[in-house]
Structure formats: structure tokens, C-alpha cells
Amino acid sequence: MNARIPSGTRDVLPEERAELRRIEAALLGVFSEAAYGEISTPTVEYQETLQRAGAAATPVSYRVLGELGEELALRSDMTVPIARVAASRYGDADLPLRFCYVAPAYRAVTPHRGQPREFLQAGIELIGADAVAGCAEALTVLCHSLQATGLKDFYVGIGDVGLYPSLLASCGVDVGASEAVLRALGDRDFVGIDREVAALNLTEDQTAMLTEVPRLRGAAVLRDQIEQPLAGALSGIRDVVESLDGEVAARMIPDLGRFPRMGYYSGAVFEVYDPAVGEPIASGGYYGDLLGRFGMAVGGVGFAIDVDLLHAALAGEERGETGR
Amino acid sequence: MNRFGLTIAVPRGALLGGSLDALDRADIDTSEVRTNDRKLLFADIGVVTMRPSDVPTYVEAGAADIGITGKDVLMEHPERQIFELADLEFGHCEMVVASEDGPDRAAEALERLGVMRIATKYPRIAAAYFERSGRQAEIVTVNGSVELAPLTGLADAIVDLTATGITLKENGLVVREQIASVTARLVANRVAHRLKAEAIEEFAALIAASAKPTSA
């Protein structure tokens, strides 16, 4: 008998489970040292609750009907459930709140692409902290926790969701006309960015700035002499990086073109890259409005590490892979 | 490995010549790729060769840092998480709707049957195009020699890529509508784009269509 399981899911057998357990323990050790309390939330929630995060959030992919006909869904991340918990159970508590978790989440896959439907995430949410100080704390915990697992060669790309829209606004481009450029930017389609910026009919200097900025990335960006309005737009990233310790700051790659297509992020956004893995192994950022949708008018910052990808990165580094 | 430290996915087929000319501008010795059409991996110069439609797969997974493929492939797979860095301005083609010469069978089918049958290797581009223009189209996916479909009655029209129009003409088909212009594009893996930023920028500048050929 060989009973199947759905594509994108898998069984974890003792040898791998033991390795994952060591990684989880290392991550949770750092989270707990930084005063983050571990929490669990239900795997299934009301669809309505998860969708309260808005159309911009990671889409909920698996819906089920309960025995009474209630519309339930599997969570697509832990940030929305934790926002729900914070708003409904900690409304009067002293801020900031610090939560951490290790839990599976569920997302839709494209067939035949080797993507997981169910994946294990480990992360933190820091709720009600100042945006800059909160991002600095989250980035520090992120780097320390990855180091604690033994990961060495990773870097953190840091962008700011508001950067490019503020540059467009400074050039006098209104929200409606910005849409096509921002869509190309979200796809990192540089040919499309050049085409859409040209279509805005701006001055030569403005066109040059708007087409060059999405290409700017790397530590040198913060060191270079930068003129207004870019210098002002860059302050979101600069303030966070400058409040980090040297060792953590050294892992930052400022990325001026980062503009996530989806998500509830509204300030700094970050992603972890390791040369041994072709996709980001962790991501996070600042969200200003998410808790407000649950009636708690504060911002938050958090990140989620994909534990399976982190495991792959550790194995890759062990084999000496530094980008093949 | 090449001096950039980049693994480069190069498309075989119609885009191969232009791609290798572009690599030559970056001083990568492509002579072995030009003479050996069976070998797939050229480790000395960091080049892997494959079908154009496989380039996004390799680049997305990080099996290649950077690659060259047609805009048609990128349009057909918009969900691929890769970055489109530059238009390399070779491999010019048109994505067109074509049908048999004479009265347009597709228009007639739409009028009398309310739907037209379209054969194509690009089901998503075709479906999106007819949806945009508000016409009901039944898409039939075929894997090659799309021109055969209208001649045998499999479909009323085709959506396909044409460079010169010669194959269409020889099979008695005429272009009815232009969907898009297509050229070769440089694409990058999103992790490599950050971690190998300098190498990618230098490489992209050298192979850009506007770059001067290196003195041979």
C-alpha cells in the first residue's frame, strides 16, 4: 500500500525532524533571551478574521466549511493571527508586546513547481514599538537568531515601501499616474519601469532619478553623496541602519528598488539572502495599519524565517556552496 | 567560471546567435558553445544552455544567476519570481493573430457560433489578449507547427510568434492582429541580484545593446 499525500506537503522523518528541532531550539533560544514570549494560535480561523488584513495581505488559499457551515480557512502566515490576539487579548496591556512562534502556515502553489503548500515558519512580532527602534530591534533579533543556528554567509536586503512613492510625489506625479510604474517596480521589471517613467513626461533629471533609483542596492548607497529629494526619501532606510550595532549593520544591503507587490507593510521591509539558496529565506517589515483593522491603533514590526529554507541554506553552507 | 562569477543561462534556438554575440561583448569566449551543439554545460565560462522557455525556471531557482530569454516566455509566465533587467534588442519578433487568407474564419466563427477556436503555444498570452478585447475564444494548446491548426480545421486562427512572416505565408496564413513586439531580455535571480550586485551591473552594462563591441 502506497497512499499518497498532496503535492507540496511532506512527511518529516526522525533524522530530519531532529535537525529541524535543533534549528528551532536555537531560534527560540534567541527569541526568548530578547524577551519574546512564545505563543500558539489555531491552524484554522474564521475566513472573515484572516481577510480582515485586507486584499493586500497574503491570500488565504485553503477554505473549509465547519460542521455548522461556518467558513473557516487555514492561516497563510502568523502575523495576522498574532495581530488578532494582541488586539483582542492585550488591548489594555503596556506596550510594546513581544511574541514569537514556530508554526506551520499554508499557501497556494503553482503545480509542478516544487513549491510547498505547508511550510514551517519561525518568527517574532513586536507590537507597539517606535518604527525605527522597533525595526532595529527586530533586525538585531533576526541576525542573532540566524547566527545562533550556525548560518554564516547571509545578508539582509532592507528597503522602504514608502521610498519610491515619495519620489514620485516629489516629481508631482499623482497616485493614479503612479500605478503603472509601481506595478513594474513590484515585478522588478526594469524594462517596464523605464517605459512607464518615460511615459510620465518629466524633466530629464527626474526621469534619470526615477529610472536609476530602482537599480540602486548595496552598502555604498548610504555612503554616497546623495541629493534631495532622494536623500529625504532614503532616511527611512538610513535611520534604521544607523541605529544598528556594527556587526548587524554590516549584514545590511540597502535596496532602494524593493517594493513588495503584496503585504501589509508600510515602512521598512527586509528579506534575508543566503548564497546557497535561490530565494529569500526570511522576510519581514513594519506594518502601520494592520492592528488598526482589529481595533488596536498601533504599528508593529515582525519577521518570519522559513525554517525549511534555512535548513537548506545551512546544508548548502556546510557543503561549501557560496552561490554554486 | 567566467570572471564575473555568474552562472549564465543561454537559450538555444533562434536567440542563441544574438546571445553569444552579447556574451562576446563581455569578453566571454563563446567559441566552444558555437561549435558544440550537443554539450549543455560549459563550466569554464559559466554558461548553461537550454530551451528559452526553461531559462526562467533555472534563474528563478538560482540554478543560474542570470539568463537571456524572449519576452514571449516572460509574458507567458508572469508568475515567475525573476527580475527583468534589460531589453537586449535582438531577436525581434511579433506576437500575432493569424488565420487563413481570404474571409477571416475566426471573425465568422465569433459572429455565427459566438466563440472562436485559437491554436497556440502561448495559451496564457492568447487567453489574456482575447479577454481584454472582449471576445470569446476557446484556446487549444499545441506544442509546435501551430500553422497546421487552421489548415486542418483544428482551429479558426492561431496566436504565434513570427519574425519574417515567411512560414505563415507559405502555409497560406495572413496576420490579422498584432498583439505585442517581442525581443530578447536579460533576467536575473532575485538573490543573486542583491548578493552579486556589482558583477551583475558590470555584466549587464557590457552586454547591453547600446554597448560598444570590445576590440577584437
Backbone angles phi, psi at B60, to 5 degrees: -60, -40
In a domain, B47, yes or no: yes
Whether B97 and B172 map to the same domain: the answer is: yes
Using DSSP, state whether B84 is helix, strand or coil: strand
Q: Cα–Cα distance between B83 and B59 in angstroms, integer?
A: 9
pLDDT band at B91 (very low <50, low <70, confident <90, very high): very high
Whether B115 and B150 map to the same domain: the answer is: yes
> Are A59 and A76 a contacting pair, CB within 8 Å?
yes
Q: Which CA distances in Å does A148 have to A29, A49, A55, A204?
A: 9, 35, 36, 49
Q: What string of H, E and C letters represents the secondary structure of A270-288?
A: EEEECCCCCCCCEEEEEEC
Decide if pLDDT at A211 tops 90. yes
Q: Which tens digits make up the pLDDT trace of A247-273?
A: 999 999 999 999 987 778 999 999 999
In B, minimum Cα distance to A256 occurs at B194
Which of B62, B190, B195 is opposite residue A155, by nearest beta carbon? B195
Q: Which helix (H) or strand (E) holds B41?
A: strand B41-42
> Are A120 and A85 a contacting pair, CB within 8 Å?
no
Given its phi and psi angles, is residue A172 left (phi above 0), alpha (psi -120 to 50 degrees) or beta? Answer: left
In a domain, B2, yes or no: no
CATH for the stretch A16-154+275-318: 3.30.930.10
Contact B61 A110 (CB under 8 A): no
Q: Which tens digits make up the pLDDT trace of B28-61?
A: 999 999 999 899 999 999 999 999 999 999 999 9
Which of B201, B167, B161 has the alpha carbon at shortest distance from B183?
Answer: B161
pLDDT band at A1 (very low <50, low <70, confident <90, very high): confident
In a domain, B1, yes or no: no
Q: What string of H, E and C letters represents the secondary structure of A22-58?
A: HHHHHHHHHHHHCCCEECCCCCEEEHHHHHCCCCCCC
Q: Cα–Cα distance between A114 and B154 in angstroms, integer?
A: 34
What pLDDT sits at residue B214? 47
Burial class of residue B92 (count of CB atoms within 10 Å of its CB; 0-12, 13-18, 19+): exposed
Q: Indicate the pairing of strand B41-42 with strand B47-50.
A: antiparallel
Q: What is the side-by-side order of every strand in the sheet holding B137-141?
A: B137-141, B116-120, B157-162, B93-100, B173-182
Residue range of the domain that includes B46: 8-91+183-207
Sign, CA torsion A181/A183/A186/A189: negative
Q: Cα–Cα distance between B121 and B145 in angstroms, integer?
A: 9
Q: Cα–Cα distance between A152 and A170 in angstroms, integer?
A: 40
* HSE (side-chain half, CA atoms, 13 Å) at B204: 22
Which ipTM did the prediction report? Answer: 0.86
In a domain, B212, yes or no: no
Using DSSP, state whether B13 is helix, strand or coil: coil
Whether B172 and B196 map to the same domain: the answer is: no
Q: Which helix (H) or strand (E) holds B179?
A: strand B173-182
CATH code, domain with B77: 3.40.190.10
Q: What is the pTM of this model?
A: 0.89
Contact B62 A253 (CB under 8 A): no
Whether B62 and B120 map to the same domain: the answer is: no
Whether B87 and B187 map to the same domain: the answer is: yes
Q: Cα–Cα distance between A73 and A71 in angstroms, integer?
A: 7
Report chain B residues whose CB lies below 8 A from the CB of A277. Answer: 62, 191
Whether B98 and B176 map to the same domain: the answer is: yes
Q: Which tens digits make up the pLDDT trace of B137-147?
A: 999 999 989 99
A-B contacts at Cβ under 8 angstroms: 63
Question: Which residues lie closer than 8 Å to B114 by C-beta, 6 or more apart?
Answer: B136
Q: Cα–Cα distance between A198 and A322 in angstroms, integer?
A: 38
Average pLDDT over residues B184-210: 93
Using DSSP, state whether A156 is helix, strand or coil: strand
What pLDDT sits at residue B215? 43
Burial class of residue B144 (count of CB atoms within 10 Å of its CB; 0-12, 13-18, 19+): exposed
Which of B78, B84, B198 is opposite residue A191, by nearest beta carbon? B84
Whether B97 and B177 map to the same domain: the answer is: yes
Which of A189, A218, A279 is opposite residue B197, by nearest beta carbon? A218
Name which of A109, A110, A188, A251 to mutate to probe chain B: the one with the most chain B Cβ atoms within 10 A of its Cβ: A188
Contact B84 A189 (CB under 8 A): yes
Q: What is the dihedral of CA A8, A108, A312, A187, to 10 degrees?
A: 140
Structural domains of chain B, count: 2
Residue at B106: amino acid letter = A
Average pLDDT over residues A311-315: 96
> Are B114 and B163 a contacting pair, CB within 8 Å?
no
One-character DSSP codes across B105-155: HHHHHHHHHS-EEEEES-HHHHHHHHHHTT--EEEEE-SS-TTHHHHHTS-
Q: Which tens digits make up the pLDDT trace of A25-48?
A: 999 999 999 999 999 999 999 999
Contact B191 A279 (CB under 8 A): yes
Residue A287 β-bridge partners: A300
Q: Cα–Cα distance between B36 and B56 in angstroms, integer?
A: 23
Contact A188 B193 (CB under 8 A): yes
Residue at A105: amino acid letter = A
Q: Which tens digits make up the pLDDT trace of A72-109?
A: 999 989 999 999 999 999 989 999 999 999 999 998 87
Q: Cα–Cα distance between A113 and B57 in angstroms, integer?
A: 9
pLDDT band at B111 (very low <50, low <70, confident <90, very high): confident
